Amino acid sequence: MTHLQKFQQELKGKGAAALISSHANIFYLCGFSFHDGYLLIFPDAAYLLTDARYSEAAEKETDKGFTVLVPKDGMIAAFRELLGTHGADKLLVEENNLTVATFDRLKKGLEAVTLSSGVTEMLTGLRVCKDEGEIAAIREAQRITDAAFAHILDFIKPGVRELDVALELEYFMRRMGASGLAFDTIAVSGSASSLPHGVPRDCKLQEGFLTMDFGARCKGYCSDMTRTVVIGKADNEMKRLYRTVLAAQEAALDVIGAGLFCSAVDKVARDVIDKSGYEGCFGHSLGHGVGIDIHEAPRLSAKAGDAVLTAGHVVTVEPGIYLTGKYGCRIEDLVVVGADGRAENLTKSPKELIEL
């Protein structure tokens, strides 16, 4: 079943039409990436509405099942006409994406229709379990990311700036076939490595930990990995900290699989860190889902409630220890839960402590 068919099946149960407005959900449903337009979907029909800039590419690239339209009298008039043709009196919208201004315009222009939220929740539920094609794209993105790490180890020399490391990773991934980046590359050294999401600076790499967090995008899907290496020599305290992060990650990777509470996986890693004397130094959750968006469901977090890992979930496992003002270290792998319930680590890069 295509993504569209799965979504239409759910829509049928709700007796409604749906307006899709976010880039990620549009791409998920129609396989075409464009930044101006909407999908209007009924249980038995689907329309892609855009303008002349995208219409030719949309005709060629959009998955089967969509009718491409270029409205002459504005989007709202086109929605009104299509909703009338299909006899729909209820329209679900993307509660996490639609602006208040657009919502107000819809309300004014579609008086005969009841607007309601629910699309974000429905599509989050569908997107969380990846199919074979999606996993293949993520696997390819991670393969490129691993290759970039091997490349950067050779590239790093005395005098290289944090910015150079980030740019080289990005250039390499694009050259290897990535269509873009999964997110802004992080490459921070010395005391800045204590910032989990630090921005690469125009300064030479400092002695101590260098944390690199980066990912590629392939066929619309992201990868995500972090490696921390040492510029110069690691002292005993740094070695102990690194070993603790790695032990926390390995403990989580050992247990992760279908049927486990997402919060339980977080706890396994957190306990290792807390019991090693670094309590309170792991300030973020253990991991997140990865797909069309770099951060999506499910979350491996103490706050994940009753969310349970199932086949098709793709998640990161990324414990870290951050000593404010001193340094920090994070190690991140990308894992897919297979049909047999077992987790497969898609990240192949080495994790022993590397001194450069």
- Per CB under 5 A, residues contacting Zn ion are 213, 224, 226, 316, 332
**Are 252 and 265 a contacting pair, CB within 8 Å?**
yes
Instruction: Compute the C-alpha angle 229/230/235, nearest 5°.
Output: 135
List the alpha helices (DSSP H) in 176-261: 236-255
Is the CB of 140 or the CB of 213 nearer to Zn ion? 213
Residue 134 vs 332, nearer CB to Zn ion: 332
d(CA 147, CA 172): 9
Q: How far is the CB of 318 from Zn ion (least distance, A)?
A: 5
Helices within 32-161 (DSSP H only): 52-61, 75-85, 100-109, 119-127, 132-155
Identify which of residues 249 and 316 has a Cβ nearer to Zn ion in the complex: 316
Both structure tokens of 223: 């990868």
What's the min distance (Å) between Cβ of 38 and Zn ion? 30
What span, in angstroms and rounded, lies between the C-alpha atoms of 54 and 300? 38
User: What gap in Å lies between CA 175 and CA 281, rounded to an integer?
Assistant: 37
In the complex, the smallest distance separating the C-beta of residue 212 from Zn ion, rounded to whole angstroms, is 9
* Shortest Cβ 225–Zn ion spacing (Å): 6
Residue 332 beta carbon to Zn ion: minimum distance, rounded to whole angstroms? 5
CB of 314 to Zn ion, least distance (A): 11
Looking at the Cβ atoms of 39 and 169, the one nearer to Zn ion is 169
C-alpha distances out from residue 84 to 4, 59, 87, 145, 330, Å: 22, 24, 5, 48, 54
From the CB of 33, what's the least distance to Zn ion, in Å? 22
Residue placing its CB nearer to Zn ion in the complex, 88 or 187: 187
| Residue closest to 116 by CA, chosen among 95, 143, 86 | 95
Q: Is 284 helix (H, G, I), strand (E, B) or coil?
A: coil
Q: Which is nearer to Zn ion, 164 or 213 (CB)?
A: 213
Asked if 318 and 335 touch (Cβ cutoff 8 Å), the reply is no
Nearer to Zn ion, 94 or 146 (CB): 146
